Amino acid sequence: MTYQGPAVFAVRAAALLADSDGVELTSAARSDAAGASEDAAVLIVTVEATDEALAAAMAAARAELPAGATLQ
Protein backbone atom coordinates (compact mmCIF):
# COMPACT_ATOMS: atom_id res chain seq x y z
CA MET A 1 0.00 0.00 0.00
CA THR A 2 1.04 3.59 -0.43
CA TYR A 3 0.23 6.45 1.92
CA GLN A 4 0.61 9.92 0.46
CA GLY A 5 -0.12 12.98 2.54
CA PRO A 6 1.08 15.11 5.43
CA ALA A 7 4.39 13.84 6.79
CA VAL A 8 3.20 14.29 10.38
CA PHE A 9 0.52 11.61 9.80
CA ALA A 10 2.62 9.02 7.95
CA VAL A 11 3.61 7.01 11.03
CA ARG A 12 0.02 7.11 12.31
CA ALA A 13 -1.23 5.74 8.98
CA ALA A 14 1.17 2.79 9.24
CA ALA A 15 0.18 2.23 12.87
CA LEU A 16 -3.52 2.19 12.01
CA LEU A 17 -2.87 -0.59 9.53
CA ALA A 18 -0.52 -2.52 11.82
CA ASP A 19 -2.94 -2.37 14.75
CA SER A 20 -5.83 -3.76 12.72
CA ASP A 21 -7.06 -7.29 13.45
CA GLY A 22 -5.52 -9.87 11.14
CA VAL A 23 -2.90 -7.51 9.69
CA GLU A 24 0.83 -7.85 10.21
CA LEU A 25 3.05 -4.97 9.12
CA THR A 26 6.14 -6.40 7.44
CA SER A 27 7.80 -3.18 6.26
CA ALA A 28 7.32 0.55 5.89
CA ALA A 29 9.69 2.87 4.08
CA ARG A 30 9.53 6.49 3.07
CA SER A 31 9.80 6.99 -0.66
CA ASP A 32 11.32 9.85 -2.61
CA ALA A 33 8.62 9.40 -5.25
CA ALA A 34 6.88 12.35 -6.87
CA GLY A 35 4.84 14.17 -4.26
CA ALA A 36 7.31 13.66 -1.42
CA SER A 37 8.69 16.77 0.22
CA GLU A 38 9.58 18.08 3.64
CA ASP A 39 5.87 18.47 4.50
CA ALA A 40 4.40 15.65 2.41
CA ALA A 41 5.36 12.01 2.72
CA VAL A 42 5.04 9.04 0.44
CA LEU A 43 5.20 5.91 2.58
CA ILE A 44 5.29 2.41 1.10
CA VAL A 45 3.72 -0.06 3.54
CA THR A 46 3.84 -3.84 3.15
CA VAL A 47 1.55 -6.09 5.20
CA GLU A 48 0.49 -9.69 5.44
CA ALA A 49 -3.27 -10.15 5.69
CA THR A 50 -6.25 -11.87 4.16
CA ASP A 51 -8.15 -9.87 1.56
CA GLU A 52 -10.98 -9.33 4.04
CA ALA A 53 -8.69 -8.16 6.87
CA LEU A 54 -6.83 -5.84 4.51
CA ALA A 55 -10.05 -4.31 3.17
CA ALA A 56 -11.31 -3.68 6.72
CA ALA A 57 -7.97 -2.20 7.81
CA MET A 58 -7.78 0.12 4.82
CA ALA A 59 -11.37 1.31 5.31
CA ALA A 60 -10.70 2.05 8.98
CA ALA A 61 -7.43 3.84 8.22
CA ARG A 62 -8.95 5.87 5.39
CA ALA A 63 -11.66 7.10 7.76
CA GLU A 64 -8.95 8.80 9.86
CA LEU A 65 -6.82 10.26 7.06
CA PRO A 66 -6.36 14.02 7.09
CA ALA A 67 -7.67 16.12 4.22
CA GLY A 68 -5.71 15.57 1.03
CA ALA A 69 -4.12 12.29 2.14
CA THR A 70 -4.56 9.03 0.25
CA LEU A 71 -4.06 5.35 1.06
CA GLN A 72 -4.06 3.00 -1.90
- Parallel/antiparallel/unpaired status of strands 40-48 and 24-31: antiparallel
Q: What does the alpha-carbon distance between residue 66 and residue 72 come to, in Å, rounded to a whole number? A: 14
Query: pTM of the prediction?
Result: 0.85
User: Which residues constitute the domain of residue 62?
Assistant: 2-45+52-71
Per-residue tens of pLDDT for the chain, all 72 residues: 999 999 999 999 999 999 999 999 999 998 887 666 778 899 999 999 999 999 999 999 999 999 999 999
Cβ atoms within 10 Å of 32's Cβ, excluding its own: 8
Q: How many domains does the chain have?
A: 1
Contact 10, 56 (CB under 8 A): no
- The whole-number pLDDT of residue 36 equals 67
CA 40 to chain centre: 13
- The whole-number pLDDT of residue 5 equals 93
Cβ neighbours of residue 29 closer than 8 Å, sequence gap 6 or more: 43, 44
